[in-house]
Structure 1
Amino acid sequence: MHPGESVSARELEPSLGKRLSAALPYLAMVVISLFLYYQADNFEFSESSGRIGPGAWPKIVLCLLMFTACLGIIKVVWAGQAEPDKREVIDEDVAAVLAPPEIYPKMVWAAVAITAAYVWLLPILGFFIATIFYSVALMWVGRQRRVATLCIAGVGFALFFMFLFMKVVYVSLPIGKEPFSAVSLALMALMGIH
């Protein structure tokens, strides 16, 4: 090719074979997920009325994995048909994932210390209150400084996970010691958790 010659979009497009080979890992994930889904479908357990069986959660996770893998296949195949400048944007996104940002060891150690404190305070404060403090502390270490965002997200995370674990998954969580247990018991009553 001589200087000044333009390259057609067709010449820059990766071949169908290259696109399909790039999609193979995603396809393998779909096949593995289908096999594991079949295995989860054959779990033997005694059903209790009104509760999700032990096979439901693996199936939900596997469906999400299959959905994500299918999106990956579509993206790989679609990227080959994108315009050259769009492929460059995709390549930049991939490069950003492959070259992660700098790791801050002090932040990591602070998060480890906060997690250790969370585990220690959990039986005292109860899941709800301890999770609020834990979420807020982690976001603060992660450099979130907006007080409203910290408070709303902290309470939101705690409520969401309390509902998910206690009402949906039926996991017993620590309610804490007096006077903190009163908060947990009041929330459980509001959520209809017995």
Structure 2
Amino acid sequence: MAPVYKLKFFNFMGVAEPIRYLFAYGGISYKNIEIEDADWPDVQKSVPFGKLPVLEVDNKVLCQSVAISRYLGKLVGLLPTDDLEAAELDAIALTVFDYGTKVHEWFHEQNKERKLLLQKELEERWCPRYLGDMEEIVRQKGTYFGGQKISWADLYFVGIMESIEGMWGSKILEKQYPLLHTIYKHVHEIPAIDTYVSNRPHYKY
């Protein structure tokens, strides 16, 4: 009997979007539970480390978006069997998460002066560092982060980047990183993901 999956997150893309991509890619049914702000204090007490997303797999709870995505990536056949290649993809996903954390910090900063400083750091330091290095990795590897074959890390990257571009308000990849933009396009051209994106709730970021 197939496991019962319940994904808990807020009503936006964020770090849960790659997980939703992977469910769509694999045609796996799951319950998408959106936590309202008013309910979050109580929910926070009940989840590991007080953070979302969490994925309930029957009676077990898995946390952290990279771990959840890797687990689903294996289920849907997007995890390489070679251990070193798999570890390289882990590194990509963790780097994408780190980059997303920088953007998230800027987006939610309330102090105007500090927000401008964080934006300057993103534009001059972190975008070139993270995206530039990932662009070079794809240049060396081939079409995707793992070479010529798409992987869960590509879906993770695109899911996070869609959220980041929603926060940033512009198409970062299209303007400056053509190889990463190609991955972005290829993932969205996957029929199952295209269908999911076309029918999902209206998430701003």
TM-score normalised by structure 2 residue count: 0.24
Greater share of helix:
1
Greater share of strand:
2
Between 1 and 2, higher relative CO (CA 8 Å, sep ≥ 6) is seen in: 2
TM-score normalised by structure 1 residue count: 0.26
